[in-house]
Structure 1
Amino acid sequence: MPTQQTIGSMYGSAPTTTFMGLPACLDLSRPEAAAVLIGVPAATPYASVGSYCADAPNAIRAVMAQYAAALHHHDFDFDGPLLPPGVRVVDAGNLPNADEAAVNRSQIRDTVGAVLDAGVVPLVLGGDDSVPIPLFEAFAGRGRFTLLQIDAHIDWRDEVDGERLGLSSTMRRASEMTHIDRMIQVGQRGVGSARPADVADATAAGVHFISAHQVHREGLEPVLRLIEPASEVLITFDCDGLDPAIMPGVIGRVPGGLSYWQAVDLLHGAAERARIASFDLVEFMPARDVDGAGALVAGRLVATAVGLIARQSQNPT
């Protein structure tokens, strides 16, 4: 009997440490690609739970390894191969996971900066929800950007237990960056760390909120019409923005959330209106996953971003 009974065994996928068997990138100054995947185990180690998403990048790669032999097969979500002919996407592996948050943040900011200097789109596999803060910082001086967040929580606390750069403060810190022009936050529901004053501050700052309930009632059009045509968009995707029925691997499950197809259609819709300048997926917690189901959903969303960015590289606006 085979030691590992997966679809990958039937496809003939060989073991790989990169996402779907993409080529490894050893020199970020010369990636020679449309996009680079970067694994970021953590930005902020927390005293209470540590780096609780540190295993996420490798868990997502592991579940998607079974499709390595099928990378160039017909992908029905794109009506063609995931990567168009001649388009290259590479995987740079994981950044080291330091015990000091300042070290992690510096590594993220510098690495993303190097990718941007090379004219390539970064795709980040996180990592806790504070990973995007240094990612966004790397875009300073590079233009004006719309920030599109998918998340169950709004992340507008100024600080929690003295930490101002942690997972509850991501969007407040982003609002203070002068290169962020517009903020669209999608999927909020239930109760999180936000207090009424935090919601009021976000609203006063001009944030556009579209709750999960509103998405279910009205569809994605209220979100998509907020994305200005031909703008540059930074997409940050917190896994708890999804319904826990399909994404159990999060630390704070909240009933409801976006469905898989709502998430996919949102990414496609954003790509139709704007250029995806970066994509990050955070807050996947393998220890809370069920039989790899959440990792597979996360992996397919990353693959969707890969396919969209690859196609945009062929038709720059």
Structure 2
Amino acid sequence: MPASASFLPFMGATAAPGPEGYAAAIFGAPYGTPYPGIDHRIYRAAPDAFRNALAEDSAWLDHWDFDLGGPLLRHGLPVCDLGNLPGRAKDGPGNRRLIEETTRRILEANAVPIMFGGDDSVPIPFIAAYSNQPPIVILQIDAHIDWRDERHGETMGFSSTMRRASEHGHVWRIVQAGIRGLGSAREGELRDALNWGAHIVTAREIHHAGVQAVLSHIPEDCDCVISLDCDALDASLMPAVAYPTPGGLDYTQVTDLIAGVAARARIAGFAMVEFVQGRDPAGTAAFTAARIAAHVIARIEKRA
């Protein structure tokens, strides 16, 4: 499990050594599966950047939040923060093992796992950990579809996240929202995604038709795991990513997606990844991302 000492817990959470007795458990996964020649250490500060972004607001938990329609934890949902996993930048297998084991323990404690990454390879073991749970629907909010089978000879990297998810028997639907621009996918990967049955909703479709274009693909009463790549947001709001792309989603669209999922289904897990603190000198991008995570906690509490 992550070390729970000497870190600032995320807003409203209690620092704890384990998830038992809590309804939701946060943990940081700074490292995933590296690609040769790509420095994934640029993401390692993300979990603490999210925590620090809301440090001042942590003293105002009883104040009315107009985005949430009330205080963040109005009913006192017990949320813990387990700290960061002690991974290593170049140890892909070890990092995956730590993430999967931690996620499984949280699920076995009947808590909702909330993971702060790390690059977009960290959802691969996060999703794998649901194999003993009820089947899940994945909502990926991302600029890219991540259906590469391999890249640079590595099959577990950030370009393969949804491909690996599609191979699990416990994943029965994948909905991909905010897709746009140029990524690692080629025509073959797009065809494979569509042939599998993935529902791909581009950012342009959301801008024109609203978030209902995505929510119509989320079945009623399902268990939904949300995987949010920060590059899903428009570059003007979220410059702190490795591959900023114009035409992305705004804060309200993303939080409306989260609220919409919670209204029709159960948020069974949340992962937020691909944040590069070095590209956020003012700290506003970290604040935006952290506020999105607070929305997730608030929506989990409403369903608890």
Counterpart position of 1:118: 109
Q: CA RMSD in A?
A: 1.3
Q: In structure 2, how many angstroms separate the alpha carbons of the residues matched to 1:268 and 1:94?
A: 27
TM-score after normalising by structure 1: 0.91
Report the CA distance shift for 1:256/1:226 in structure 2 as closer, same or farther (over 3 A): same
| SS of residue matched to 1:276 | strand
Q: In structure 2, how many angstroms separate the alpha carbons of the residues matched to 1:86 and 1:219?
A: 32
TM-score after normalising by structure 2: 0.95
Counterpart position of 2:133: 142
Q: Does 1:172 align with 2:163?
A: yes
| SS of residue matched to 1:140 | helix
1:37 is aligned, of 15, 26, 32, to 26
Q: In structure 1, how many angstroms separate the alpha carbons of the residues matched to 2:266 and 2:75?
A: 20
Counterpart position of 2:45: 55
1:155 is aligned, of 128, 133, 146, to 146
Runs of 4+ in 1 over 4 A off after TM superposition: none
Greater alpha carbon shift after TM alignment, 271-280 vs 284-293: 284-293
For residues 114-149 of structure 1, give each alpha carbon's deviation from its aligned partner in whole angstroms, at most 9, with x where no partner exists.
Answer: 000000000001110000000000000211111100
Which structure has the bigger radius of gyration?
Answer: 1
Matched residue count: 297
Counterpart position of 1:12: none
Equivalent AA in structure 1 for residue 177 of structure 2: V
1:92 is aligned, of 66, 79, 82, to 82
Counterpart position of 2:247: 256
Counterpart position of 2:59: 69
Counterpart position of 1:210: 201
Q: In structure 1, how many angstroms separate the alpha carbons of the residues matched to 2:143 and 2:174?
A: 15
CA contact (8 A) 1:16 1:65 kept: no
1:223 is aligned, of 186, 192, 214, to 214
Structure 2 spans left out of the alignment, 5+ residues? 1-5
Q: Percent identity?
A: 44
Equivalent AA in structure 1 for residue 15 of structure 2: A
Counterpart position of 1:187: 178
CA contact (8 A) 2:118 2:275 kept: yes
Q: In structure 1, how many angstroms separate the alpha carbons of the residues matched to 2:65 and 2:26?
A: 20
| SS of residue matched to 1:122 | strand
Greater alpha carbon shift after TM alignment, 77-86 vs 109-118: 77-86
Equivalent AA in structure 2 for residue 90 of structure 1: C
Q: In structure 1, how many angstroms separate the alpha carbons of the residues matched to 2:129 and 2:63?
A: 35
- How far is 1:84 from its partner? 2.3
CA contact (8 A) 2:26 2:113 kept: yes
For residues 264-290 of structure 1, give each alpha carbon's deviation from its aligned partner in whole angstroms, at most 9, with x where no partner exists.
Answer: 101000100100000010001101124
- How far is 1:16 from its partner? 6.8
CA contact (8 A) 1:84 1:311 kept: no
CA contact (8 A) 1:145 1:231 kept: yes
- How far is 1:167 from its partner? 0.1
Q: In structure 2, how many angstroms separate the alpha carbons of the residues matched to 1:69 and 1:16?
A: 16
